[in-house]
A = this chain, B = another copy of it.
């Protein structure tokens, strides 16, 4: 079952609410003997951490991860790795106003319809805070994949403003608060998001992911396909509404010969002339870079009032005063990377299990 777990051989189980004492996760199935300490995870959490620019929530969380099990003398033992991150800055009073009213676009109503009750503090389980656990697990997944596999992400669209792919520079990604690979777009987004923030509104975004060095053969027909599980993993991230592999929706407009990635021999190896497939054919990696994109809807918690109702059935206007990301898509970049890393690590182990390769 997979209510709060994902992966099979590299399996992550996540727990925790936004305003409980802590959040955390358990990684089961990690190969033994890998060097692992908190310092291997913390840098990835620091990248995701809020409050680092005016474009993300001002909530301050140290996001210090602790490893409670599964390592001995700095190496993984093959037993479950328990990760814990304390919640230090919960201002639950900020949310008092929305205990009895459903924020439009948010999970408030859905949780209550399902469970008959909900933890309203900071969105409870539905809070984007949980993505810290995914990022921590992704850091471990990277160790499983090894240094030959490089998993990267970038923000490629904020609201209506897209980057110019021709100006893509990976080095630029770490130089601005947006993980934007196109220096020319940075000031456009700054101006746009400042206006959005001042208007008490929020903006959607699109994230692009790439994994290089992925060995061929990962994935499995027909429901354990690499792209199918990646789509599920990315769509499970808060606020994601669309996922593409390779050419994605644009492939619908191509003809068969345009879409086919031609093959030639190069130094004794098969070389592809293009990568419309996004590195996956028939659900199995080909050795080309894995390419995926996902769309993040605008943050639902906004200062602008939206018509809604209360638990008691009264009609109200809801505005959410807490500290929110004007564009939650920004912090989705490290989260998307982490999910991609986890899916790849799981499939690496599954492939090795079945084929011995």
Contacts and interface: CB of A to CB of B under 8 A. Distances in A.
Interface in A9-31: 9, 11, 13-17, 20-24, 26, 28-31
Given A204-B254, A223-B236, A295-B249, A262 B354 contact: no
5 contacts: A1-B9, A3-B220, A5-B13, A78-B355, A201-B256
Nearest to A201: B255
A280 B106 CA distance: 10
Contact of A261 (B22, B104, B296, B315): B104
Interface string A16-51: 110011111010111111000000000000000000
Contacts of A350: 1, 3, 9, 353
Interface string A248-262: 111111111111111
A173 interface: no
A160 interface: yes
Interface string A205-224: 11000000000111111111
Contact of A77 (B29, B30, B124, B297): B124
A179 interface: no
B203 A255 contact: yes
A306 interface: yes
Contacts of A28: 1, 3-5, 13, 15
Interface in A227-279: 227-236, 241-265, 268, 270, 273, 276-278
A24 B252 CA distance: 29
A58 interface: no
A80 B257 contact: no
Nearest to A308: B263
A351 interface: yes
A187 interface: no
Nearest to A228: B236
Contacts of A216: 110, 113-114
Contact of A252 (B255, B287, B296): B296
A340 to B, nearest CB: 14
